[in-house]
Chains A and B, each alone.
Chain A
Amino acid sequence: MTTRSFGKPVRRTEDLRLITGQGSFTDDAGSDALSLVMVRSPYANARVVSIDVSEAEQLDGVTAVLTYEDLPDRLAEPLPLLIPHPSLSEPRTQHILAKDRVRYVGQAVVAIFAADRYIGEDAAERVIIEYESKVAVVGIDGALGTNLVHHDVPRNVAADHSEHVGDVASALAEAPHVLELDFEMERSLGSALEGRASHATWDRHSRKLQIQNATQTPTSVRFAVANILEIPDEQVEVFAIDVGGGFGTKVIHPWPEDILTAWGAMNYDRAVKFTEDRVEHFISSSHERGQRHHVKVGFNTEGQILGLDVDFVHDNGAYTPYGMIAPLITATQLPGPYKLPNYRVRFRSVYTNTVQVTPYRGAARPHAVFTMERTMDRIASFLGIDRSEVRQRNFIQPDEFPYDLGMIFQDGRPAIYDSGDYPEMLNKALAMIEWDSFAERRSQAPPGKRRGIGVACYVEGTGLGPYEGGHVRVETGGKIQVSTGLASSGQGHHTVFAQIVADELGVPFEDVEVVTGDTRRFKYAVGTFASRAAVTSGNAVAEAARLVKKKAIALAADALEANPEDLEIVDGQVQVKGTPVRAIPLSQVAVLANPLRYSFSEAAKAATQFAGTTSFDEPPIKPGEDPGLEATGWYSPVRATFASGTHAVEVEVDLITSEVEILRYCVVHDCGRIINPLIVEGQIHGGVAQGIAGALYEKLAYDEDGNLQNASFMDFLMPYCTEIPKIEIDHLETPSPLNPLGIKGAGEAGVIPVSAVIASAIEDAEGFEINQMPLFPSELHSMRLASGRQPA
């Protein structure tokens, strides 16, 4: 048997290339391309009175300076609303360049095509724009006030959505205990190492627009660009060779710059490139996490929830290109691992004069989990029950799957949990962190410190549809070429898809080469988001490999004059089971799979027309067969699969500085069957790090005029590795019954419960309520003073 690699800690094949500088990122292309430089609004809410580009146009090295008035045809229309939803009654998307009104600081107003970025920025300084500034709507309080972001959107409400299961009103009325609670989270953003980027070339001879784009969804960028430029899809190819992190930001498309680079390449017959700089990432890409929740929870004396009513406000920024996906995820993922017979959720999504809000890794689950887990802690505190015990009493039990939440998930399909074992997961986490003996450790805190412990659970819908595909081809040289349409932005797809194909086909892992996110290789795909790649593309490439195997065995059966049922593929050889001497290498089968007239190599001679054939009564390609040892497989899940996890943390707070130190961080994680534990653990490490960032370091600090005051890494405090503790991980594997490989998604998991668990631990240490995150030392200091708990 071929050594199976599925489940093994196979080292990432990507790493050597990437760490030795051999990666190919979008900005690596096009050193001689025209640089697209945007002039961005310094005002959050203003009318554009006049624009004078004459001085900029005259600068040496400037090809063109465009305003909205210069945009032809469909480029003058608002960008597409990517995901319509019935609740989104007032969707708004931005124009490629602002049309007489700007609605956030950073909105593109003028586009400059220049010989390089330096000249482009010199030209930008020469563009004179007169604005008539209006009062900016900032924050949720601003949105609920009287000033409007869009004059035709009353009360700034983009969407008002409600869903319920059971009868919450009666449940709350009859509950022995009812608590009303308020929880809030502030904004952060993805901060990928590589910003947005696009490099477009137009070949007027072959009439091909080739776009290298730092995107999570090349196939969709292709359709969008073709559609807006009104050219056939077949003239556009999009590829994301290497992408330096996506985190959700890069699933948004097309960005104004995507369209302008493509249009510019065709219009000026020159390569055109846009590379977002860090300031632009802060002020002109996407943010997430700003949400305020009001909770009414009714429970019995055992701590079991009888009714939960959540009303929350989602700050969607100035535009809604991604529809209502983020708040819909909060609404449906808030129940987590708990049985909520009566649950009602309502959200209002409101406009503000700030950067648009779209999903960022974790995608509105961190706030959902923060709200639910804080609620659990409050019930525990109210009743004087251990926080872990309250959770145990509310869990969905292992024998209750499939468990139907009674709600519609973000894929438009019922939210039905497929599998899990939440009680066991919590038990493992409690054992890891030594929950029961914490009292002793608490009492051992050094002078000037206080210790606290916290735990938080979550459930994450992953691996949703509509579909992905994969193509597997055996080359006559023996290498296995795999391609899938979804793109990679650091996940390790090249490794895990190779593992899957190697096992399914029966070839050494080293012989499998994977290409992702290239429409020249694979045209149909959805994209990399929602922790879906391993589930959807993984099962698709597995299916493709199975089809190739079947075909190889049929061809080999002819060649070996054996019964197909008696054949197996081991280490790249098709052989008679138990009789490895009767074998034919897959490379040779690949030769035979393509009957040739013209030879091109020694091996190829075997497939030429005078090389001999088994039967003159049949055509060289039998009816119903295709030439080539290759196949395309598809996987379209009936619905999402639900991963889960429990995090536990022990913290120490400093009584003088109010700094929070994480002493231990423990994760128990269940993503079904694990393809590669190294990669899953790496994803968890990164996720937890981003979670800690969002809990203790990062926020987007808008002032009342809508200026982002910390739009650089000098003032936006993304933690360094020095701020991230050791992360201890244990796994639980409850296979998903929904897909043949039994896998669930793992990409976002780590980030989801971090704010909740850290808040729980700080609250435990401090003794007063923590209702909002992130929490910085200065704020903790103020909270101590307000709570009457003086610094030591």
Chain B
Amino acid sequence: MKPAPFGYHRATSVEDAANLLSELDDAKILAGGQSLIPLMNFRLSTPAHLIDISNLPELNEIRVDDRSVTIGAAVTHTTLLKTSQVASELPLLVDAEKLIAHEVIRNRGTVCGSLAHADPAGEMTAVIRVLNGAVRTSSVEGERVIQAVDLFEGPLQSSLTETEIIVEAIFPKLGRNSASSFREVARRHGDYAVAGAVSVVDYDNARSIESARTAFLSVGPVPILISFDELLVDAKTSDLGHDEIYEFVSSQLNPQNDIHASADYRRHLAAELAWESLKACV
């Protein structure tokens, strides 16, 4: 379990990182390394070069404005958790962070790294999906913004090009008439979820549901978003019915069997967790 030989480059700026990524053959960006390094130790990933962006001060920023919380690519989970403004402005991020792994992993692992890794079991992939967030990328070609819906293409597959670096992730804030909730079931404390559901419900001023949606983790190749609008628009919150939600969700999910859970169990959990997280938004 030792990695194959690789070159290590510490980027001096985002521009430097983008140049290196363009110039070097078979290079990968290293931020927290909490997914990449184990893959390299198993020799499942054998990049020829690593470009370390974890020390770039310009990427280690969290910005909060009227519309969103923007998290730089070097911001660790721990930094996010300890930023009190985030807890007040977008508490869903904190709810999600509390479910992510263990402290030692959160101390190194980054929010943007988990998005770039595109693991459908990752909490942040589901959060950015349900919030319809986006990532801003940089490369020698320039900058662009990729919407969450377009970012995830398959398990561990993102739509980033080979020369693109995520520089920040943009999580839109929820309005005063919105509520959110994150529920997941993991085998052990801090494990990847067997299934998880993160819901957002928007209300109008009359406390009727305007919109409701849930993003699911660990039940498909990408974070899957289900909108309940056709079921719920104009419904009063008290009209939310368990069986209706359960059936609606289970009919749309096709998880796989693996050694930890059967497809049926995952589907069942996802449907129940959707119900629980929606109910918690009420």
The interface of chain A, by Cβ under 8 A from chain B, is 117-118, 121-122, 125, 277-279, 656-659, 697, 701, 709-710, 712, 714-715, 717, 719-720, 722-723, 776-778, 781-782, 785, 791
Contact = CB atoms under 8 A, between A and B. Distances in A.
A576 B143 CA distance: 93
Contacts of B268: 781, 791
B264 A781 contact: yes
Contacts of B187: 697, 717, 776-777
Given A121-B2, A709-B259, A776-B260, A722 B269 contact: no
Contacts of A781: 262, 264-265, 268
A258 B188 CA distance: 36
A179 B3 CA distance: 56
A122 B259 contact: no
B4 A720 contact: no
A720 B259 contact: no
Contact of A118 (B2, B185, B266, B272): B2
Contacts of B1: 121, 277-279
A723 B2 contact: no
Nearest to B187: A717
B142 interface: no
Contacts of A712: 42
Interface of B: 1-5, 38, 42-43, 185, 187-191, 194, 259-262, 264-266, 268-269, 272
A782 B188 contact: no
Contacts of B185: 657, 659, 777
Contact of B264 (A118, A722, A782): A782
Contacts of A719: 188
Contacts of B260: 715, 717, 776, 778
Instruction: Sort A-B residue pairs by CB-CB distance and give the 7 closest, nearest first.
Output: A722-B189, A778-B265, A778-B261, A701-B259, A277-B1, A118-B2, A781-B265
A697 B188 contact: yes
B2 A782 contact: no
Given A117-B2, A121-B43, A778 B189 contact: no
Contacts of B191: 717
Contacts of A656: 269, 272
B216 to A, nearest CB: 15
B4 A722 contact: no
Contacts of A658: 265
Contacts of B269: 656-657
Contact of A723 (B5, B188, B259, B272): B188
A720 B189 CA distance: 8
B158 to A, nearest CB: 21
Nearest to A716: B259
Contact of A125 (B4, B189, B272): B4
Contacts of B194: 777-778
A674 B103 CA distance: 39
Contacts of A710: 259
Contacts of A122: 4-5
A782 B4 contact: no
B98 to A, nearest CB: 13
Given A118-B5, A722-B190, A791-B268, 17 more contacts: A118-B3, A122-B4, A125-B43, A278-B1, A657-B185, A657-B272, A697-B187, A697-B188, A709-B259, A710-B259, A712-B42, A715-B259, A715-B260, A717-B191, A720-B188, A720-B189, A781-B265
B190 A782 contact: no
30 contacts: A118-B5, A121-B2, A125-B43, A278-B1, A279-B1, A279-B42, A656-B269, A656-B272, A657-B272, A658-B265, A659-B185, A697-B188, A701-B259, A712-B42, A715-B260, A717-B260, A720-B189, A720-B190, A722-B188, A722-B190, A776-B260, A776-B261, A777-B187, A777-B194, A777-B261, A777-B265, A778-B266, A781-B262, A781-B268, A791-B268
Interface centre among A125, A715, A777 (most CB of B within 10 A): A777
Contacts of A121: 1-2, 4, 43
Contacts of A117: 2
A778 B267 CA distance: 11
A723 B189 contact: yes
A511 to B, nearest CB: 41
B259 A782 contact: no
A125 B188 CA distance: 34
A701 B38 CA distance: 21
Nearest to B276: A656
B257 to A, nearest CB: 9
A117 B43 CA distance: 14
Contacts of B43: 121, 125
A57 B236 CA distance: 74
A697 B43 CA distance: 27
A117 B41 CA distance: 12
B262 A778 contact: yes
A776 B268 CA distance: 15
A632 to B, nearest CB: 44
Nearest to B46: A125
B114 to A, nearest CB: 15
A725 B65 CA distance: 44
A782 B189 contact: no
Contacts of A722: 188-190
Nearest to B261: A778
Contacts of A723: 188-189
Contacts of B265: 658, 777-778, 781-782
A545 B66 CA distance: 79
Which of A125, A719, A781 has the most CB atoms of chain B within a 10 A radius of its CB?
A781
A351 B239 CA distance: 60
A310 B266 CA distance: 37
Give the one of B42, B43, B187, B259 with max A CB within 10 A.
B259
Nearest to A35: B2
Contacts of B38: 714
